[in-house]
Structure 1
Amino acid sequence: MRVGLISDTHGLLRPQALDFLRGSDHIIHAGDITGPEILPPLAAIAPLTVVRGNNDRGEWASAIPETAILRVGPVAIYVIHDLKELPIDPAREGMRVVVAGHSHKPACQERDGVFYVNPGSAGRRRFSLPISVGELLVDGGQVQVRLVTLDVQ
């Protein structure tokens, strides 16, 4: 199963990001959406799990949860916008993956059997950071993580 990862769109859903996400079986948006118009094109590709980021304000964002748990077979994925606000011990709670955004820096690190994945920012460029997305490839209990820098001008 392919889980597409996107975060920090900040009101800009790039065609390159949509192209990458096509073919996903599920999509996770890790917050800082900053506009409801971002979600329908993602949901048209695959079922969508979304969390609210610190810049997601207003009535449209009030129904979006701050955290979410997605189960892909035996693999539990915890989603939160800012990793610094993580309210659980993921390893103790049986999570295999934590997906977070906020920093705009794509990263993947494994600690105590848990992958901590930040797909980076797919929206407007911040400083000299790349425009990026990611994916989780889940096969039974095995997880592979891939982060991709998008070719944008």
Structure 2
Amino acid sequence: MLVCLGDTHGQTDHRLAGRAHQAVREADHVVHTGDFTTAAVYEVFAEQSGADHGGAPLSAVHGNSDEPTLAERLPSTLVVDHEGVRLVVVHGHEHTATGLGLLARQEDADVVVVGHTHRPMIERTDHCLVVNPGSHADPRGTAPTHAEVTQGEHGAMIELRARDGSLVAEETIQT
């Protein structure tokens, strides 16, 4: 399973709870759309995923609220290939809807994972699936959420999950 999160906005803690915390610990790969805020939060995320000791890799981009020393360590755009699904990851503060579609075409991506708004969303466009996992720690007008990408009988699925594990939305990923 690949887990997508974003917009932690912490100072020292990963702020993971409930299903999001469990999913990060079980994941084969963890993707973060930025706004950890501090390098300390990034480091505890790496620890929770196991990335710092041979576990699930943590792939992350920087957000507009990340401290400069962390932003310098992380790219603004990242391509992740996972079990036949290609994702392009950005924070989103510098992209319009049209720009996200063009980025997906440029990177031949099946899914664009974007953060910034703190609002969970799955939207099918002409070029790709756009997913915002929401914020597991600092939601705005919604419950805390994250996204999980899994392989099923009929291909890859992306699911938005609430803190209690309940399904918020789901979509098949066309590859």
- The residue that corresponds to 1:22 in the other structure is 25
One of 136, 141, 145 as aligned partner of 1:122: 136
Q: Is the 8 A contact 1:72 1:138 kept in 2?
A: no
Report the TM-score when normalising by structure 2: 0.75
Distance in 1 of aligned mates of 2:110 and 2:118: 22
CA 54–67 in structure 1, closer or farther in 2 if over 3 Å, else same: same
The unaligned stretches of length 5 or more in structure 2 are: 165-175
Instruction: Give 2:17's aligned amino acid.
Output: P
Q: Is the 8 A contact 1:109 1:117 kept in 2?
A: yes
Q: Is the 8 A contact 1:5 1:27 kept in 2?
A: yes
Distance in 1 of aligned mates of 2:17 and 2:146: 12
Q: Is the 8 A contact 1:51 1:66 kept in 2?
A: yes
Tell me the CA shift for residue 140 of structure 1.
10
1:83-112: per-residue Cα shift (whole Å, max 9, x none)? 652464413541101101111110111223
* 3-state SS in 2 of match to 1:22: helix
Count of aligned positions: 149
Percent identical among aligned pairs is 29
Where do 1:1-153 residues align within 5 Å?
2-11=1-10, 12-16=14-18, 17-38=20-41, 39-44=45-50, 46-82=56-92, 85=95, 86=99, 88-91=102-105, 93-112=107-126, 114-126=128-140, 128-138=141-151, 142-151=155-164
Tell me the CA shift for residue 59 of structure 1.
1.4
Distance in 2 of aligned mates of 1:74 and 1:99: 16
Q: Please list every run of at least 4 consecutive aligned residues from structure 1 whose deviation after the TM superposition is greater than 6 angstroms.
A: none
CA 149–83 in structure 1, closer or farther in 2 if over 3 Å, else same: same
Name the one with the larger helix percent.
Answer: 2
Distance in 1 of aligned mates of 2:15 and 2:139: 12
Instruction: Give 1:62's aligned amino acid.
Output: E
Give the superposed CA RMSD. 2.4
CA 75–13 in structure 1, closer or farther in 2 if over 3 Å, else same: same
* 3-state SS in 1 of match to 2:26: coil
* 3-state SS in 1 of match to 2:104: coil
